[in-house]
Structures are given as C-alpha cells and as structure tokens.
Structure 1
Amino acid sequence: MPSESAKNTVPTVNRLLAALPDQDRRLIEANGDSVQLLRGTVISEPGDRLREVYFPTDSVLSLMTPPADHAGLEVRLVGNEGMIGTPLILGVEVTLLHTVVQAAGPAWRMSREQFGEALLRSDALHTLLDRYLEVLMNQGDLLVVCTRFHLVEARLARWLLMTQDRIHGDRFHVTHEGLALLLGVRRVGITKAATALQERKLIHYRRGEITVLDRMGLKAAACGCYGRAETMYDRLLGR
C-alpha cells in the first residue's frame, strides 16, 4: 500500500491540477492528501472497484491490460501530466486495467467520494478532465498503430523518452523482463533493441539501470508516434 505522509496543500507540479483556477485547486486541497507511492506497488487489478484517484506529482505508473494469450501489454504511462482513476470521470467504478507504480514518488490522492463531489462542484475540473480523456483516446489510437507497425527498437526508444519526460531525469530502473512485459514482446527482442541503442551510445544499460546519454539521438531512433500525443496534450490542456 502507498506510504502516507501528513495532510498538506496539494503540490502544483501535477500539470492537471496546476492548470485549475485557484478556487478550484483549493477545493482539491481541502479534499485529499499527499501519499508516497513505492515502486512495484499494485494500485488496482482488472475487475477491482475503484476507491481512489491519484494525481502523480513525481511518480510514474503503468496501466496494463492482460490479453488472454499474453502476460500483458502497457496501454498507458502516467506521470505528473495525468491521473489514475479516469473511469470515475465517466461514473464508472470498475477498472479493466492492472495499475502498478513504475517509479516511486509522491502523488495527490482523493477518495472516490471526494473526487465525485469535486466534479459536481467544479465546472473547471470537469472541463479539464474531459479534455484529458480526449488526449487519452488519441494516445490509445497511436498505441494501436505503434504496436502493429513499428519495430521494437523504435518503440523502445519512444518508451524511454516518455519515461524520461515523466521522471524528469536521465536515469531510471527497469529490467529487460519488465520492458518485454510493458511492450508486449519477447525478452530477446528487448535485449537486441537495448543493445543496439547502447552500441549507438544513446543509452547505457547495466543491471536494470538505464541512463539516457543522448536524448536527441534517442528521438531520432524513436518512431514518429513520439511527440504527437504530447503536442495534442499541450494544445488541449496547455503547457
């Protein structure tokens, strides 16, 4: 379970919450608390009833769906640009996804009841999250194309860039097994792709620690999907 800290004002480094007018953000401050999420913590499993929402401030979470014939596939990577618990925006209380903390850090948490009350009282919050749902729909469309048509090396480069964007740093922990699960490919494919990126001096990988050495080179190696959803986010939700 998440490790709790004392209740305080909501951190404004979550981009969704920071985009709210002051009075609406104060409503969030009065109806939530800050928690420390630990890497590997499972937030929800498919079929679970959602009891809380999370707005990551300096943590990263993976949302995965487990097809019947595969261990799983990441469908969303969420950092301080987004939130966990989006079905509740539409009044749906059950999740179909497995949600796990990919990178440890703080998040702002609200109960289902607190969140529902905030949506009723804040038109600005409702409008903002409706736009966020549109961004997620666009990301989902891109994922289908990316998974079907793009090579593992390009998809891995894209994932590394997305993760770097969310952790705001150059180094993070992930194993080859974990990457294979997240990208829905065999481990040998990840090993070949990571080796190729390392040989080009774009990344350094050792014992589950990846360091991005050349971000511009990594962007050149990534498929064209990287940046499209990010551009849409900026257009709909602002920088």
Structure 2
Amino acid sequence: MPVSKDSGRSENQLLAALPAQEYERLVPHLEKVALNNHQVLYEPFEPIDFVYFPVQGVVSLLYTMEDGSTVEVGIVGAEGMVGIPVILGGIKTTNQALVQVPGSAMRLKASVLKSEFERAGVLQTLLLRYAQALLSLASQSAACNRLHTLEERLARWLLLVQNRLQSDELPLTQEYISQMLGTRRSGVTVAAGTLQEAGIISYKRGKITILNQENLEATACECYRVITREFGRLLNADHG
C-alpha cells in the first residue's frame, strides 16, 4: 500500500525523528504492511531484502539452536527497526525475526535504506545509535539470563513488551514466553503464578494484563532499568 507523507511517520520513533527532507526521500519507497501473528520477517543466514519500521505490534529477534530451542536476543516495537544488519555491512544474520504481537509496519527495500544511510545524514546517526541500543539489550539480556531469577526475568521481559506495545494487555501465552526466555514452560507457569497471586498481573486465555506497574517494576531486576535508560539516552539524544 503506497503511503502519504505522514502515514506511519509519527507512529515510529525513528521515522518521526527524521528531518522532512530525508523522510520525503523515503516516502516513495515506503509501503505499509500488516505484521501477522508469528510471521517470519527474515530467516537466519538468508539475505535481508526488506527492513521494517513497526508502527504497531512487536517483533522478536530469536537465536535458534541446533536442537530447535530458541531464546530472544532482541525485541523491536515502534521505537525501532527490524533489519539492522543491513546498515552494518552485512545482508545476513544468525537471527530470525518473528512477529510476537501482530500489528503493522512501514516496509522499505534494504537497498533503498542502505543508499540513504550512506548519505551520512540524520538517518545514519539514528540507526547507529539504535544499533548500539540493540547491542546493549542483547548484552544485558545475556547477563540477566545467567544471573537473575526467572521471576525477575519475566517481570523485566513483560515490561519491555509493554513499553513497545504501549498497552497493559499483552496477547501472550506462557508457552511462547518460555521460548522467548529460553526456559521451560513449567518455570514460567510458577513465576507467572507468583506475580498473579501478588496482584501484579492477571493471566487468562493467552492474555496477560499488567495490573500494578509499580510493583512489576519493583519485581524486575536491575536490567530493565539499565536497558530503558540506555534506549532513552541513545534515542532521545541530540542528532547533531
């Protein structure tokens, strides 16, 4: 679907931060597309032909082991872009990009993004900062998975999804959460049950509702605060 000059712009933080001249160069090439539940946007070791600027929904970046087990190494919502390897010199990655919560995105050919990136304008600065933020997220998540309890990790992850979805209602199953956290479903069931008994969340038929934001943040490990602070520092900074 062709887009107007403002369609989807204000809903994606990276696009909204572009100067009018840079954004208008992209407009003829942007296409608004649906992000369907569990849709794969790109596979490991396959060329990335398109990048996606989500305006609604959440996309997980997953690493899959040889035995088929997965763990989430990144999460993208309206603050970012799916396909960051394109601007780092590669057209392939070891990760899979999977739609976690359905929505929509502005899609752009990777070749067009790379050409605009090489103009060395604001887009380049924004995407490099976003790449650093994603790297910080992956690093902090690795430490978190090793050092913190499952209850702390679950609270941290739910908050990150909430931030990107901008909603207290998260359409997620415990089975899916266990795959994202790289742990057993039984462990997630126990951790979610503890949060529910404390009145922090409710869980019913594949939907988690955050009832007490303050207590959920208190339950989360320090990693949530570190990740949130780093994204804010990098993406809200002066572009000059």
TM-score by length of 2: 0.93
Secondary structure class of the residue paired with 2:92:
coil
Secondary structure class of the residue paired with 2:34:
strand
Q: Which runs of 5+ in 2 are unaligned?
A: none
Aligned twin of 1:77: 75
Secondary structure class of the residue paired with 2:53:
strand
Shift of 1:6: 4.1
Secondary structure class of the residue paired with 1:110:
strand
Q: Tell me, in whole angstroms, the C-alpha distance in 2 between the residues paired with 1:172 and 1:141.
A: 25
Aligned twin of 1:198: 196
State the AA in 2 paired with 1:7: V
State the AA in 1 paired with 2:82: I
**Is residue 150 from structure 1 mapped to residue 133 from structure 2 by the alignment?**
no
Deviation readout 1:137-179 (Å, 9 max, x if unpaired)? 2112111110000000110011111111111111121111111
Partners of 1:171 and 1:211 within 8 A in 2: yes
**Is residue 208 from structure 1 mapped to residue 203 from structure 2 by the alignment?**
no
Aligned twin of 1:140: 138
**What is the correspondence of 1:175-186 to structure 2 with a 5 Å cutoff?**
175-186=173-184
Q: Tell me, in whole angstroms, the C-alpha distance in 2 between the residues paired with 1:237 and 1:115.
A: 19
Shift of 1:20: 1.4
Partners of 1:59 and 1:167 within 8 A in 2: yes
Q: Aligned to 1:102, which of 100, 103, 120?
A: 100
Aligned twin of 1:159: 157
Q: Tell me, in whole angstroms, the C-alpha distance in 2 between the residues paired with 1:97 and 1:8.
A: 32
Secondary structure class of the residue paired with 1:121:
coil
Partners of 2:59 and 2:101 within 8 A in 1: yes
Q: Tell me, in whole angstroms, the C-alpha distance in 2 between the residues paired with 1:120 and 1:70.
A: 37
Q: Which runs of 5+ in 1 are unaligned?
A: none
Deviation readout 1:25-67 (Å, 9 max, x if unpaired)? 2122232111111111111111111000001111210110012
CA RMSD after TM alignment: 1.4
Aligned twin of 1:52: 50
Q: Aligned to 1:230, which of 228, 231, 237?
A: 228
**Is residue 173 from structure 1 mapped to residue 167 from structure 2 by the alignment?**
no
Partners of 1:24 and 1:122 within 8 A in 2: no
Sequence identity percentage:
38
Secondary structure class of the residue paired with 1:13:
coil
Aligned twin of 1:8: 4
State the AA in 2 paired with 1:71: S
Secondary structure class of the residue paired with 2:223:
coil
- In the alignment of these two chains, the number of paired residues is 235
Shift of 1:69: 4.7
Q: Tell me, in whole angstroms, the C-alpha distance in 2 between the residues paired with 1:237 and 1:177.
A: 32
Q: Tell me, in whole angstroms, the C-alpha distance in 1 between the residues paired with 2:3 and 2:97.
A: 24
